[in-house]
Amino acid sequence: MVVDGFFGDTGKGKVAAYLALADKPALCVRTGAPNAGHTVTLEGQQHVLRTLPTCFVNPGTKLAVAPGALIKIDVFLSEVERYGRGRSYVDFNTGVVEDIHVERERSDEFLMKVVGSTGQGVGAAMVDRVLRRLRLARDFEVLKPFLADVPAMIMENKRNGVVIEGTQGTFLSLYHGTYPYVTSRDVTASGILSEAGVGPKAVDEVVLVFKAFVTRVGGGPLPGELPPEEAERRGWVERGAVTGRPRRAAPFNMELAKRAVLLNTPTQIAITKIDAVFKEAAGKTRWEDLPPEARRWVEEVEEEMKVPVTLLGTGPEPHHMVDLRREKGRA
């Protein structure tokens, strides 16, 4: 399973896409909701997926949406048509965000102006789910061709490989994040497994994804936050995949990373955008080709976290990856 270690935007979509191509899993399951966009760059073109997993890059991988997830029907059908025809599934119990949820959320001044909600109706839909009045995928005729028992699919395909793609970031967790500046679900490893319908003993590997610097969209604390002009000077200016809002930026935070390790108990760590901090790392795929200062920094992170750092993103494409899993006994 793939989990975000910061505030979202760490590149877990790229990591999941790389795993899909490198490991050729039989099934990939997406958790979360359409307020989070996962980005994959293929041959220079960006693809932002809000519902289906980024494992679509492997045409042999089945794509499924978890029972604890939420979908917007139009977004789901659009992504099926573009990325997953003939191999896309949604669980019977997946919740559905409707127009009334979007209207309710966008009329909430606290959510929109203070917390910095994306206004996609996800929080309002989660409220209805807790109150047991949300309509589920099984209630919509248009979704009937895609309905499946996703927890059963996971166990049926386990021998041939399954990737569970988490959403958002550890410190946006409803329970473990910077409340009230959080999302409407638990997005740590435990919450992701619960959404997918998987018990912890079934999991072989938990990949915790960090970025070589920290970004955050919306309100809430960001330790070490840089002024916008300094972030621009460093080349760390980014925008949210769903809203297009500018992401606030800060240097890599070791204390936040340690806390994320404590909360998620990963078996390995991935770090993306190494090339944004160490320019000479761009496009490298071998450890020995990384600049010495990048290698020293990665070794320092590994020593502090006491978890092997196995995947290093060095560019936008999935294949821009240094894969150390075999050398570190995690393959």
Catalytic residues: 9, 38
Residue with tokens 């003993």: 201
Cα atoms in the 13 Å half-sphere on the side-chain side of 105: 23
Task: State the DSSP H helix or E strand holding residue 292, giving kind and residue range, or none if neither.
Answer: helix 292-305
For 155-160, the CB contacts below 8 A with 24+ separation are 155/202, 157/25, 157/26, 157/27, 157/62, 158/202, 160/25, 160/26, 160/27
Cα atoms in the 13 Å half-sphere on the side-chain side of 30: 33
Around Cβ 175, how many Cβ atoms within 10 Å? 13
- Residue 134 corresponds to which tokens in the numbers above? 């949300």
Q: Is residue 98 a contact partner of residue 75, using CB atoms and an 8 Å limit?
A: no
Overall residue count recorded for the chain in this entry: 331
Around Cβ 42, how many Cβ atoms within 10 Å? 14
Q: Is residue 89 a contact partner of residue 69, using CB atoms and an 8 Å limit?
A: no
